Amino acid sequence: MTKDELTIEELEGTLMCLEERLSRVKPVRTGRKAQVMAVLRDKGHISVADIAALIGISERNISSQLTYLRRSGVSIGTDSKGRKFIES
């Protein structure tokens, strides 16, 4: 495992933290795009696989959500390791 990879315990801890945060700030309807945006804001550079694991949907669905976000004007970058992030 490289230093950039999360352990299962770290991933579970992050998921629990995100779920707790979302439960406090949950809008009337939380869409997938909003969930993806929240993960990108909280985690910074993160792989599609890790986003999918955190949210609990397929990598293909995450890729679709990233496409919808880009079409909506969100600047999402990809680093040299293929991880996604919101460009400032």
- Position 28 scores a pLDDT of 38
Burial call 6-42: b when 16+ CB within 10 Å, e when fewer: beeeeeeebeeebeeebeeeeeeeeeeeebbbbbbee
Structural domain range at position 30:
8-86
Give mean pLDDT, residues 42-60: 95
Mean pLDDT of the chain: 86
pTM of the model: 0.65
pLDDT confidence band for 17 (50 / 70 / 90): confident
Asked if pLDDT for residue 19 goes beyond 90, the answer is no
pLDDT confidence band for 26 (50 / 70 / 90): very low
For residue 55, tell me if it sits in a domain.
yes
Listed in sequence order, the residues at least 6 apart from 62 whose beta carbon sits closer than 8 Å to its beta carbon are 36, 48, 51, 52, 55
For residue 3, tell me if it sits in a domain.
no
Q: Are 77 and 85 in contact (CB under 8 A)?
A: yes
> Domain count of the chain?
1
For residue 2, tell me if it sits in a domain.
no
Q: Spell out where 19-87 has E strands.
A: 76-78, 84-86
Asked if pLDDT for residue 5 goes beyond 60, the answer is yes
